[in-house]
Amino acid sequence: MKSKLLAASAVALLLGSAPAMAQRAPAGAQPTAAEAKAFVQNAEAQLEKVNAVAARASWVRANFITADTQWLEAKASAEQNETATRLAMEAARFNGVKTDPVTARKLQLLKLYLVSPAPNRPGAADELSSLLTKLDSTYSTGKFDFQGKQITLNDAEDVLAKSRNPAELKAAWEGWHSISPVMKPDYARFVALSNEGAVGLGYKDTGALWRANYDMEPDAFAAETDRLWKQVEPFYKNLHCYVRGRLNAQYGDAVQPRTGPIRADLLGNMWAQQWGNIYDVVQPKGVTSSYNLDDLLVTKGYDPVKMVRTGENFYSSLGFAPLPQTFWERSLITRPQDREVVCHASAWDIDDKDDIRIKMCTKVNAEDFTTIHHELGHNYYQRAYKDQPVLFRNSANDGFHEAIGDFAALSATTPTYLQQIGLLQKAPGAEEDIPFLLKMALDKIAFLPFGLLVDRWRWQVFSGEVTPDRYNDAWWKLRLQYQGLTAPGPRPADAFDPGAKYHVPGNTPYTRYFLAHIYQFQFHRAACKQAGWKGPLHRCSVYGQKEVGERLNTMLALGQSQPWPETLKTFTGETRTDASAVAEYFQPLNAWLTKQNRGQKCGW
Residues 464-483 that bind Zn ion (CB under 5 A): none
240, 401, 503, 517: the catalytic one is 503
Write the CB contacts of 348 (distance below 8 Å, at least 6 apart in sequence): 4, 6, 7, 8, 55, 59, 356, 357, 358, 359
At a CB cut-off of 8 Å and minimum separation 6, what does 477 contact?
A: none
Query: Position 374: which residue type?
Result: H
Q: In whole angstroms, what is the distance from residue 386 CA to residue 557 CA? A: 8
Give me the phi and psi of 141, to 5 degrees please.
Answer: -105, 10
Nearer Cβ to ligand X8Z (273/572): 273
For 240, phi then psi, to 5°, come to -55, -45
* Min dist. Cβ of residue 503 to ligand X8Z (A): 6
Instruction: Give the nearest distance from C-beta 436 to ligand X8Z in angstroms.
Output: 20
Catalytic residue among 172, 375, 381, 517: 375
When the beta carbons of 5 and 445 are compared against ligand X8Z, the nearer one is 5
Query: Which residue, 30 or 154, is less far from ligand X8Z as judged by CB?
Result: 154
The gap between the terminal CA atoms of the chain, to the nearest Å, is 39
Query: Residue 504 binds which entry of ligand X8Z, Zn ion, none, with Cβ cut-offs from 5 to 8 Å by kind?
Result: none
For the CB of residue 213, give the shortest distance to ligand X8Z in the complex, in Å. 16
Our CB check for Zn ion shows the closer of 349 and 402 to be 402
Q: Which is nearer to ligand X8Z, 371 or 382 (CB)?
A: 371
Tell me which of 272, 345, 347, 366 is the catalytic residue.
345
Q: Distance between CA atoms of 189 and 128, rounded to whole angstroms?
A: 9
Considering only 30-38, 44-52, 294-302, 399-407, which stretch makes contact with Zn ion by CB under 5 A? Answer: 399-407
Q: What is the DSSP letter of 154?
A: H
Task: Extract the runs of DSSP E, i.e. beta strands, from 109-175.
Answer: 143-146, 149-152
Q: By the 8 A CB rule, do 478 and 455 touch?
A: no
Query: Are the CB atoms for 559 and 385 separated by under 8 Å?
Result: yes
Reply yes or no on whether 547 is catalytic.
no
To ligand X8Z, the closest distance from the beta carbon of 405 in angstroms equals: 9
- Per-residue binding string, Zn ion, 402-421, x by CB under 5 A, is x-------------------
Determine whether 378 is an active site residue. Answer: yes
55 binds, among Zn ion, ligand X8Z, none (CB under 5 to 8 A by kind): none
513 binds, among Zn ion, ligand X8Z, none (CB under 5 to 8 A by kind): ligand X8Z
Q: Is 177 a catalytic residue?
A: no
Nearer to Zn ion, 45 or 333 (CB): 333
- The residue nearest Zn ion at its CB is 402
Q: From the list ligand X8Z, Zn ion, none, pick the one residue 346 interacts with, judged by a Cβ distance below 5 to 8 Å according to partner type.
A: ligand X8Z
401 is catalytic: no
| Shortest distance, position 39 Cβ to Zn ion, whole Å | 32
Residue-wise DSSP of 506-551: TT---HHHHHHHHHHHHHHHHHHHHTT--S-GGG---TT-HHHHHH
CB 24 within 8 A of CB 90: no
Q: Which residues bind ligand X8Z (CB under 6 A)?
A: 5, 273, 345-346, 371, 374, 513
The least distance separating ligand X8Z from the CB of residue 449, rounded to whole angstroms, comes to: 13
Neighbours of 421 (CB within 10 A): 14
Q: Which does 345 bind (CB under 5 to 8 A by kind): ligand X8Z, Zn ion, none?
A: ligand X8Z
Query: Cβ closer to ligand X8Z: 124 or 403?
Result: 403
Q: Which is nearer to Zn ion, 194 or 382 (CB)?
A: 382
- Which one is catalytic: 240, 344, 373, 538? 344
Q: Is 538 annotated as catalytic?
A: no
Tell the smallest beta-carbon distance from residue 406 to ligand X8Z (Å): 8
User: Minimal distance in Å, beta carbon 484 to ligand X8Z?
Assistant: 19
**Count of positions on this chain that bind Zn ion (CB under 5 A):** 1
In the complex with ligand X8Z, which residue's Cβ is closer, 291 or 457? 457
Q: Are strands 262-263 and 485-486 parallel, antiparallel or unpaired?
A: parallel
Distance CA 263, CA 123 (A): 44
Single out the catalytic residue among 177, 240, 373, 378. 378
Phi, psi at residue 359, to the nearest 5°? -140, 110
Q: How far apart are CA 549 and CA 542, in angstroms?
A: 9
Residue least distant from ligand X8Z (Cβ) = 345
Has 524 been annotated as catalytic?
no
Among ligand X8Z, Zn ion, none, partner that 458 touches (CB below 5 to 8 angstroms by kind): none
Minimum CB distance to Zn ion, residue 376 (Å): 10
Parallel, antiparallel or unpaired: strands 149-152 and 143-146: antiparallel
DSSP 253-315: TTTS-SSSPEEGGGSSSTTSS--GGGHHHHPPTT---S--HHHHHHHTT--HHHHHHHHHHHH
Question: What angle (nearest 5°) sits at the alpha carbon of residue 399, between those of residues 238 and 519?
Answer: 50
Piece of the chain touching Zn ion by CB under 5 A; list 22-30, 68-76, 400-408, 434-442? 400-408
371 binds, among Zn ion, ligand X8Z, none (CB under 5 to 8 A by kind): ligand X8Z
Q: Are 394 and 561 in contact (CB under 8 A)?
A: no
Which residues 6+ apart lie within 8 Å of 253 measured at CB?
A: none
Q: Which is nearer to Zn ion, 4 or 37 (CB)?
A: 4
* 421/310 Cα distance (integer angstroms): 9
Selected catalytic residue, list 279, 513, 519, 585: 513
Please state the closest distance from residue 502 (CB atom) to Zn ion, in A: 11
Binding site for Zn ion (CB under 5 A): 402
Q: What is the set of active-site residues?
A: 344-345, 374-375, 378, 402, 503, 513
